[in-house]
């Protein structure tokens, strides 16, 4: 176990009421009860598939999270609530066969952002891109090289700055520059309550993965940036690629196998129940 900070990203399914009510935050009670163990926590439905949800927790340390995950009244109870959230009215069901029938798979990934407070700019229309690379397990040097190269990318940012005094900040399409973190572990809690833990999997194969977070101000600002913002041409070329095109070309150049995008209107998990 480590004393370095770590985040967890937990994907689960929750029933989607016809009246579009927000997700019932009471399912996070086992987490709220351990408020001193983490910096902040956020949740929300995926805009692209509203029955799918994500819970993001910025833990004080990996050791603290591991202790929480091993606790029957902590991590185990939280997973039970999340796994049952897709049954009936979305509330956790009681012990016994009824609960087991209502369980849904829950996937938790540890993601290392170092000491960067990546969650500070969470809010409406936050875009998360998970990028998958060939596995580098057992080759620490190769893993280091890939992470440094990917970390050197700027992501989707304006080519020209808006000044250093902040007076032009209102013209920016985002709330802050993108951040990138690496997935270090994955655990899947199955429908039957059995869990598998270890390497990250994507499309049936072992991979390594990173998360790019873009903090768009709104959907219009995001769309305008992605369809108009261009990068300066490379030496000897006249073509000015779109910033999105250039970013994706850079990811492929570094060996990316593919990626998945989703958007979340993040809300804070309440501090008290």
Domain ranges in the chain are 6-268
Q: What is the mean pLDDT of residues 177-185?
A: 96
Which has the higher per-residue pLDDT, 162 or 171? 171
pTM summary value: 0.89
List of residues 6+ apart from 123 with CB closer than 8 A: 175, 215, 265, 266
Is the pLDDT at 168 greater than 90? The verdict is no
Length of the chain measured in residues: 273
Q: How far is Cα 269 from Cα 273, in angstroms, rounded to an integer?
A: 9
DSSP labels, 73-138:
IIIIHHHHHHHHTTSTTSSPP-SSHHHHHH---EEEEEEE-TT--GGGG--TTEEEEEEEE---TT
Beta bridge partners, 11, equal: 54, 107
Report the mean per-residue pLDDT for the chain: 88
Q: Which pLDDT score, from 0 to 100, does residue 192 have?
A: 60
Q: Which pLDDT score, from 0 to 100, does residue 167 have?
A: 61
Going by DSSP bridges, is the β-strand pair 200-202/205-215 parallel, antiparallel, or unpaired? antiparallel
Return the CATH fold of 6-268.
Alpha-Beta Plaits (3.30.70)
Burial of residue 253 (CB within 10 Å: 0-12, 13-18, 19+) is: exposed
């Amino acid at each position: 176990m480590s004393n370095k900070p770590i985040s967890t990203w937990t994907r689960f399914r929750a029933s989607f009421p016809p009246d579009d009510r927000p997700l019932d935050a009471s399912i996070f009670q086992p987490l709220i009860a351990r408020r001193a163990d983490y910096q902040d926590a956020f949740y929300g439905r995926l805009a692209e598939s509203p029955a799918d949800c994500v819970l993001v927790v910025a833990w004080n340390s990996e050791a603290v999270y591991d202790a929480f995950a091993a606790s029957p009244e902590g991590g185990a109870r939280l997973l039970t609530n999340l796994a049952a959230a897709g049954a009936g009215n979305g509330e956790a069901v009681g012990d016994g066969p009824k609960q087991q029938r209502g369980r849904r798979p829950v996937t938790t990934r540890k993601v290392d952002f170092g000491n960067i407070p990546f969650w500070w700019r969470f809010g409406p229309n936050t875009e998360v891109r998970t990028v998958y690379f060939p596995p580098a397990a057992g080759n620490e040097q190769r893993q280091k090289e890939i992470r440094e190269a990917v970390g050197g990318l700027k992501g989707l940012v304006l080519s020209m700055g808006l000044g250093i005094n902040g007076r032009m900040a209102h013209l920016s399409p985002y709330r802050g520059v993108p951040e990138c973190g690496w997935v270090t572990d994955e655990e899947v809690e199955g429908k039957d309550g059995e869990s598998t833990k270890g390497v990250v999997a994507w499309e049936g194969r072992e991979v390594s993965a990173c998360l790019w977070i873009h903090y768009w101000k709104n959907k219009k600002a995001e769309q305008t940036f992605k369809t108009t913002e261009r990068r300066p041409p490379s030496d000897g070329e006249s073509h000015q690629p779109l910033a999105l095109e250039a970013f994706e070309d850079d990811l492929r150049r570094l060996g990316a196998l593919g990626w998945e995008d989703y958007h979340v209107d993040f809300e804070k998990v309440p501090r008290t129940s």
